[in-house]
Amino acid sequence: MRVSLKAILAVVLFSAVPAALAQDAATDTKKAADKTGHETKVVAKDTAKGTDKAAKATGHETKKVATAAGKDTEKAADKTAHETKVVAKDTAKDTDKAAKKTGSVVKKGAEDTGHGIKKVGEKTADAVK
C-alpha cells in the first residue's frame, strides 16, 4: 500500500477545514451570546431607570394630591368650625333674648299676681272691718 504524499496532504486539509470552520462558528456563537447578554443588560438597566423614574414621579404626584387633599380638608374643617361658631353665637343670642323675654313675662306675671293679691288682701281687710 503505497500512499502518496498528495493523498495524505489532501486528507489533512479536508479534515482541517471542518475543524477550523467549527472553531470559527463557536467563536461567532460566543461573540453573539456576549453581545446579546450585553444588550440585555443595557435594556434591563434602562428599564430599571425608567421604572424608578416612574415610581418617583408617581410618588411625587401622590404626595402632591395628598397634600392638596389635606389642605382642602383643613379648609373645610376651618369653615365648618367657623360656621359652627357663628351658629352657636346666634343661638346664644336668641336664647338670651328668649330668657330676657321669659324673665320679663314672669316678672310681669309676678307683679300682676302680687297686685291681685294686694287687692284681695285689701278687700278682705275691708270686709273684716
Has residue 57 been placed in a domain?
yes
DSSP code, position 4: -
Where is 28: in which H helix or E strand? helix 5-128
Q: 119 pLDDT exceeds 70?
A: no
Has residue 121 been placed in a domain?
no
Distance CA 19, CA 31 (A): 18
Distance CA 20, CA 16 (A): 6
Has residue 102 been placed in a domain?
no
Has residue 31 been placed in a domain?
yes
CA distances 68 to 31, 57, 72, 124, Å, are 55, 16, 6, 82
Residue predicted with more confidence, 120 or 49? 49
The number of domains in the chain is 1
Quick: pLDDT tens for 58-82.
Answer: 888 888 888 888 788 888 888 888 8
Can you give the residue range of the structural domain that contains 27? 1-93
pLDDT for residue 121: 61
Quick: pLDDT tens for 81-110.
Answer: 888 888 888 888 888 877 777 777 766 766
Hey, what's the cell of 33? 451570546
Has residue 34 been placed in a domain?
yes
| CA atoms within a 13 Å half-sphere pointing along the CA-CB vector of 103 | 6
Has residue 83 been placed in a domain?
yes
Q: Report how far apart the first and last C-alpha atoms of the chain are (Å, whole number).
A: 185
* Residues contacting 6, CB < 8 A, separation 6+: none
Residue predicted with more confidence, 129 or 3? 3
Has residue 49 been placed in a domain?
yes
Has residue 99 been placed in a domain?
no
